[in-house]
Amino acid sequence: MNAIEFRQVTLRLGGRDVLGDASLAVAAGEIIGVLGPNGAGKTTLMRAILGLVPAARGEIRVFGRPAARGNPAVGYMPQTRSTGANLRLRGRDFVAGVVNGHRPGLPFPGKAGRAEVDRVLDLVGAAALAGRPLAETSGGERQRLLLAQALVGRPRLLLLDEPLANLDPRFQGDVVALAAALRAELGITILFSAHELNPLLGAIDRVLYLGNGQAALGTVDEVITGPVLSRLYGAEIEVVRVRGRIFVMSGGQDMERDAHRHDHGGAHALLGASHDHA
Amino acid sequence: MLDYDFMRNAFAAAAIVAAVAGLVGYFLVLRGQTFAGHALAHVGFTGATGSVLIGISPLWGLVALTVTAGLGMGAIGERLVQRDVAIGIVLALALGLGLLFLHFYTAYAAQATALLFGNVLSVDAATVRALLWLGLVTVGLLAAISRPLLFASLQPELAEAKGVRLRLYSGLFLGIVGLAVAECVQIVGVLLVFALMVGPAATAQRLTTRVAGGLVLSPVLALAEAWAGIALAFYTDWPASFWITALSAGGYLAATISPAGRVR
């Protein structure tokens, strides 16, 4: 069965079509890297799969059923920004707050809830750091806890929105490896959005590249080509491969790196990096 | 000290209100909405003085206006509510209106001080009973929504995806804060609501990193500060509200600089 299916889907945000008439299918168990310039609709695509953004036209199916809010089969790790960065709460309680969180009642996980928290903390290797307050964790450690939250309730599809943003390069590799390990261990489907393709190479099965209201889904060799990306960027694109790394260039400029810089600014990137060293 | 009726009433009222304020305040601090609590108290001043003018007990005027305002703030949405200029203007207007109502009801000048700064030693038995029922309703409502509220506070985007209606819970919570504020005003007055709602909760979050620990510690601290404040007022003849604010501030300061507050 397909984990995700788009049938002639148009997604509209603020009067603009971020995706027009797109049809695509992601098989269960795949890891897909979701790429594209800023504003291409990576987050909107994930929110549509979650049922938070309705399709303007067409149909989105998740494991054969129409996309709808509150689907327990889907786990989600939103783009972090500063979630919980100032909280004095320990990581374990931060994760436990998600258990059955949609149901009314008291905020104390029972025995089964505590076992679930243990399970997800072990899965992401965060059991040891979960006793510390969030305010005293690094960006990379917080990322693991957010991933643990997404895994609560045993989802079969995991949507990871920019989990590498603001992370030091050496921690980026850890997060990518963790996603690959989760797929191997749990057999789940993963959508992993990122600014840059290179950190994902080797871990992903296929690429979903968004841009210009269009989407291209295929292997790296099929999608990351001059003609396909020129269509998605609406500009002449050249793809350069250097020692196993791939650079998307336009007029001598590295498009992905450029996008990264625009989004966060040099100072922020530096700040994130120094935070991880602390 | 406990031979006097007014002292027994004061301790009973303070115990009820401290429990409510400690529990509601924990979520208020966790959500970073303490300013909303302050705003609701100011709006409550208008309600209290207005109800005096039309001959209703100030407590019910307070409750009516703070709960309405809380639900309204939730309906407008948090983004708008956090615009400080708009809030500042509404707060000033609320206090101004309250003053106007007092002006029309000149015989009630003593009531103004009590409303603004609280007068726990003047709480009568009927008010204690009203506070008890209000407190039970407040805590009951909070308990019913506390799990989704915590989820929405910690990780709103994931909560939304999992089917938690953020706007609904935000509105319900601010309505509950309105109830709690109305109760707090009986002890420390409109201007000092922070002392019971925010001080103990913020101190508790410094001292424990656990949700359960915080939800126990916060009302316990609020109770200790309120009771100690009343006892000190009895022996010094200084206002109880002063002592409660002093203990609240002192507790937070101690927790912030002590090693216990930094490590755990």
Q: If you write DSSP's letter for every residue of B24-50 in order, what string do you get?
A: HHHHHHHTT-HHHHHHHHHHHHHHHHH
B151: nearest CB among A70, A78, A97: A97
Q: What is the pTM of this model?
A: 0.89
A132-136, A210-214, B112-116, B125-129, range with the lowest pLDDT: B112-116
B80 interfaces chain A, CB cutoff of 8 Å: no
Determine the 3-state secondary structure of A114 from DSSP: helix
pLDDT at residue B79, as a whole number: 61
Mutation pick from A83, A100, A102 vs chain B, by most beta carbons of B within 10 Å, is A102
pLDDT at residue B263, as a whole number: 46
- Over residues B107-112, the mean pLDDT reads 69
Residue type, A230: S
Nearest to B141 by CA among B118, B172, B181: B172
Domains of chain A: 2-73+155-224 (3.40.50.300)
The share of chain B scoring above pLDDT 90, in percent, equals 55
- Over residues B223-244, the mean pLDDT reads 94
The answer to whether the Cβ–Cβ distance between A76 and B161 falls below 8 Å is: yes
Among A residues 234-273, those touching chain B with beta carbons less than 8 Å apart: none
pLDDT at residue A264, as a whole number: 41
Q: For tokens 């299918």, what's the residue?
A: A25
- Over residues B171-198, the mean pLDDT reads 90
Encoding tokens for residue B192? 């000092």
pLDDT at residue A266, as a whole number: 36
Residues A88-104 pLDDT 10s: 899 999 999 999 999 99
Fold entry, domain B5-191: ABC transporter involved in vitamin B12 uptake, BtuC (1.10.3470)
- B19 or B261, which is more confident: B19
Q: Which residues contact A41 (CB under 8 A, 6 or more apart)?
A: A11, A13, A18, A19, A210
Alpha helices, DSSP H only, in chain B?
A: 5-30, 34-53, 58-76, 78-81, 84-104, 109-117, 125-154, 156-161, 166-188, 193-197, 199-207, 211-236, 240-257, 259-263
All residues of chain A having their beta carbon less than 8 Å from the beta carbon of residue B153 are 97
Nearest to A17 by CA among A193, A209, A214, A229: A214
All residues of chain B having their beta carbon less than 8 Å from the beta carbon of residue A52 are 160-161
Radius of gyration, CA atoms only, chain B: 18
pLDDT band (50, 70, 90) for residue B154: very high
Residue type, B217: L
> Mean pLDDT across chain B, nearest whole number?
88
Encoding tokens for residue A183? 């797929």
> Mean pLDDT across chain A, nearest whole number?
87
Mutation pick from B26, B147, B256 vs chain A, by most beta carbons of A within 10 Å, is B147
8-state DSSP, B238? S
B212 interfaces chain A, CB cutoff of 8 Å: yes
Taking CB atoms and an 8 Å cut-off, how many pairs form between chains A and B?
A: 96
Residues A227-277 pLDDT 10s: 998 888 888 888 888 888 898 888 767 776 655 544 443 333 333 233 333
- Is pLDDT above 80 for A162? yes
Distance from CA of B244 to the nearest CA of A (A): 25
The answer to whether the Cβ–Cβ distance between B210 and A102 falls below 8 Å is: no
A171 interfaces chain B, CB cutoff of 8 Å: no
Encoding tokens for residue A244? 């196993």
B206 interfaces chain A, CB cutoff of 8 Å: yes
pLDDT at residue B174, as a whole number: 92
pLDDT at residue B264, as a whole number: 42
pLDDT at residue B132, as a whole number: 96
Residues A120-157 pLDDT 10s: 999 999 999 999 999 888 888 888 999 999 999 999 99
pLDDT at residue B114, as a whole number: 82
A84: nearest CB among B146, B154, B212: B154
pLDDT at residue B35, as a whole number: 84
8-state DSSP, A89? S
- Is pLDDT above 50 for B30? yes
pLDDT at residue B107, as a whole number: 62
pLDDT at residue A82, as a whole number: 63
A24-33, A251-260, B176-185, B198-207, range with the lowest pLDDT: A251-260
The answer to whether the Cβ–Cβ distance between B148 and A104 falls below 8 Å is: yes
* CA count, 13 A, side-chain hemisphere, B132: 10
pLDDT at residue A258, as a whole number: 57
Encoding tokens for residue A15? 């009067």
A104: nearest CB among B144, B157, B209: B144
The answer to whether the Cβ–Cβ distance between A90 and B210 falls below 8 Å is: yes
- Over residues B205-212, the mean pLDDT reads 94
B160 interfaces chain A, CB cutoff of 8 Å: yes
B145 interfaces chain A, CB cutoff of 8 Å: yes
Instruction: Locate the domains of chain B by residue range.
Output: 5-191
The answer to whether the Cβ–Cβ distance between B157 and A90 falls below 8 Å is: no
- Is pLDDT above 70 for B219? yes
Among A residues 32-61, those touching chain B with beta carbons less than 8 Å apart: 47, 50-52
B263 interfaces chain A, CB cutoff of 8 Å: no
B260 interfaces chain A, CB cutoff of 8 Å: no
Residues A30-80 pLDDT 10s: 999 999 988 889 999 999 999 999 999 999 999 999 999 999 999 999 987
All residues of chain A having their beta carbon less than 8 Å from the beta carbon of residue B166 are none
All residues of chain B having their beta carbon less than 8 Å from the beta carbon of residue A129 are none
- B168 or B114, which is more confident: B168
pLDDT at residue B63, as a whole number: 92
